[in-house]
């Protein structure tokens, strides 16, 4: 009774003491640390995320701006230096620097005072410009740096012409005359420009016809002769094999000798027909060359030298300082079309990258087709069938470690296993007539795809395992309760609901595989392979051939190009194209994944 009473009295007393402490602002000495609330770490994580996004967006913005601005036509400037030299070309970039005293002392005496006064007005800082002067066959230079203190005068000639050529790069000059059969039919700049526009389209059409004859028609003859030679070689090997197996003069060898004689007779007959066809095609090619050789344009360079340019070698010509805005956009989009659909030229620094686009897309698709089934089957076994134990733990550790192996190691493995071992065995069994020239025993698009499939296999396995584990166990149990077997449950219940996660793994594999370069340098990617691995000859798709790849093309432009300055804009454009292709492939896979997710997430079990 007393206990109950004291408890009743104590409670209001305790409450009054608490109220007094709150009223007087009294706080206990014990405080919760700010870090315990987690807010600093939240802000730190958010800041790191913002920094990462800013870096990614900055990189993409740089690629987008530099990549899209590569093909915009710039005006042509003519710069007269104080030492009498004249440069004509396009300004590609500029920078500021502090010139050394030796540069000022190298100037003519009458120009040194003006140069020092200009530098004094600019606090000793000079502005220099990189001018793409072209005309490499005359000057042995593609670019020239000019400093502002060494410039006497600048101008933008109205009739300055820019020529993009099949060989030797760009040419800058003033129109002097238009030549037909060596005679001047136009001498004023306007007349020369009009004659150029009148005849250039027809000349280029004939040039395309000649190229088609050289690559396709003559290519067909060479292919037929090569097949006939291979038949003869195969018959010779059959004779040697029959002699070694049954002895010399045996019936088997006699039969093989008959086949050899027939093959040799066929080759001889085909050679006669090929020589006649070669003669006809060469006559047609010579006729086109003679017709195109009639048309030339005589151009005067900035330093006064004359150069006759054949119209057949001119890909594009325009007057940069007379272009309207619409004409600039026309040249800009025409250059983009050329970039996307034509073959490269001038050591890959000019022309298009269509073979590299084709090789990148085909290799990525073949890699995806190869890696997904193996990755899904491996993950299915590890998750659904294998019992937990040391062996399975070891396999999972090995898969995780495999993801950290440098890509060049996969390239060495692909070269040794796929190219030399598997490819060499295939050559011995099916292409012995071509030996010692390898068919599958060297780098090709098939071996490159399989090498990258091994490289990205851990990504698919891990993503598939996680998606399989995310399927609720109740669905499996419900399927078993309905009488379904384990495989029926996996095929009809587990796999469809894990498909979005599997597609996520495929997307990650595509993104990584499409951008890899180091393994491809060993197993099939080459600097130049304009012939696509698809043609009209059986088996029509030649996966044993080498191919071009956009990633390797970027490496070649940036580090192995003779004209590195001219290649810099192409590096950004090719990088932009590679990013766009990977994004399109990923977007297609993401759309498919979202469709599967909507289908199975809203379905009723």
CA–CA distance from 502 to each of 403, 459, 471, 493 (Å)? 17, 10, 12, 14
pLDDT of residue 6 exceeding 50, the answer is no
Q: What integer is the mean pLDDT of 65-86?
A: 91
pLDDT digits 0-9 by tens, 536-550:
776 777 888 999 999
CB 440 within 8 A of CB 426: yes
Percentage above 90 pLDDT, the chain: 47
pTM summary value: 0.85
Q: Which tokens belong to 8? A: 């009743």
Maximum CA pair distance of the chain? 133
For 77-156, give the CATH class. mainly beta
Model confidence band, residue 8 (pLDDT cutoffs 50, 70, 90): very low
pLDDT digits 0-9 by tens, 186-232:
989 999 999 999 999 999 999 999 999 988 889 889 989 999 999 99
Mean of per-residue pLDDT scores for the chain = 87
User: How confident is the model at residue 3, as a pLDDT?
Assistant: 43
pLDDT of residue 104 exceeding 90, the answer is no
Model confidence band, residue 19 (pLDDT cutoffs 50, 70, 90): low
Each domain of the chain, given as residue ranges in start order, spans 77-156, 183-322, 362-549
Q: Which tokens belong to 6? A: 């004291």
pLDDT digits 0-9 by tens, 171-180:
999 999 999 9
Q: Which tokens belong to 543? A: 């996966």
Q: Which residue has the tokens 């070698």?
A: 313
User: How confident is the model at residue 7, as a pLDDT?
Assistant: 44
Percentage above 70 pLDDT, the chain: 92
Angle at 249 between CA 244 and CA 250, to 5 degrees: 70
Q: Please state which CATH number belongs to domain 362-549.
A: 1.10.3720.10
CA distance 94 to 81: 17
């Amino acid at each position: 009774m007393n206990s109950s009473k004291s408890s009743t009295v104590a409670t209001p007393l305790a409450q009054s003491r608490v109220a007094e402490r709150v009223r007087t602002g009294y706080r206990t000495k014990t405080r919760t640390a700010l870090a315990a609330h987690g807010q600093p770490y939240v802000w730190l994580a958010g800041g790191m995320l913002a920094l990462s996004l800013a870096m990614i967006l900055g990189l993409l913005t740089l690629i987008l701006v530099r990549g899209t601005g590569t093909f915009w036509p710039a005006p042509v400037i003519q710069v007269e230096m104080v030492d009498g030299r004249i440069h004509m070309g396009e300004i590609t970039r500029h920078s500021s620097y502090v010139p050394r005293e030796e540069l000022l002392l190298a100037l003519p005496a009458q120009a040194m005072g003006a140069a020092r006064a200009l530098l004094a007005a600019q606090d000793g800082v000079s502005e220099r410009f990189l001018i793409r002067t072209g005309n490499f066959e005359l000057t042995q230079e593609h670019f020239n740096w000019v400093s502002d203190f060494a410039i006497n005068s600048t101008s933008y000639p109205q009739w300055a012409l820019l020529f993009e050529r099949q060989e030797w790069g760009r040419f800058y000059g003033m129109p002097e005359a238009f030549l037909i059969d060596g005679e001047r039919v136009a001498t004023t700049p306007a007349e020369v420009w009009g004659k150029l526009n009148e005849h250039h389209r027809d000349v280029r059409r004939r040039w395309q016809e000649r190229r088609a004859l050289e690559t396709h028609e003559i290519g067909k003859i060479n292919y037929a002769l090569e097949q006939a030679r291979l038949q003869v070689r195969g018959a010779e090997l059959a004779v040697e094999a029959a002699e070694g197996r049954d002895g010399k003069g045996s019936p088997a060898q006699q039969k093989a000798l008959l086949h050899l004689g027939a093959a040799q007779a066929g080759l001889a007959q085909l050679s006669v027909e090929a020589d006649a066809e070669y003669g006809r095609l060469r006559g047609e090619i010579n006729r086109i060359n003679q017709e195109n050789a009639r048309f030339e344009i005589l151009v005067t360079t900035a330093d006064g030298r004359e150069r006759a340019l054949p119209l057949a070698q001119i890909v594009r010509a325009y007057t940069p300082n007379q272009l309207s805005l619409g004409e600039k956009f026309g040249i800009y989009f025409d250059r983009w079309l050329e970039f996307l659909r034509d073959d490269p030229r001038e050591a890959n620094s000019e022309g298009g990258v269509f073979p590299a686009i084709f090789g990148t897309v085909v290799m990525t698709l073949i890699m995806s087709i190869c890696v997904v089934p193996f990755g899904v089957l491996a993950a299915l076994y590890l998750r659904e069938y294998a019992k937990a134990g040391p062996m399975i733990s070891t396999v999972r550790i090995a898969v995780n470690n495999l993801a950290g192996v440098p890509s060049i190691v996969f390239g060495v493995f692909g070269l040794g296993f796929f190219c030399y071992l598997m490819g060499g065995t295939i050559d011995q069994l099916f292409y012995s007539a071509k030996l010692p020239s390898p068919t599958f025993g060297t780098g090709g698009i098939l071996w490159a795809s399989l090498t990258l499939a091994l490289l990205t296999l851990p990504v698919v396995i891990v993503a598939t395992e996680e998606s399989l584990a995310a399927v609720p166990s109740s669905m499996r149990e419900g399927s078993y309760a309905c009488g379904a077997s384990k495989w029926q449950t996996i095929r009809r219940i587990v796999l469809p609901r894990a498909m979005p996660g599997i597609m996520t793994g495929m997307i990650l594999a595509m993104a990584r595989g499409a951008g890899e370069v180091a393994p491809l340098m060993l197993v099939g990617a080459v600097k130049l392979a304009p012939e696509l691995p698809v043609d009209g000859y059986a088996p029509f798709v030649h996966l044993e051939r080498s191919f071009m790849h956009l990633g390797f093309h970027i490496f070649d432009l940036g580090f192995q190009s003779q004209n590195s300055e001219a290649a810099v804009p192409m590096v950004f454009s090719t990088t932009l194209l590679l990013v766009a292709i990977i994004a399109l492939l990923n977007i297609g896979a993401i759309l498919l994944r979202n469709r599967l997710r909507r289908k199975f997430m809203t379905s009723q079990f």
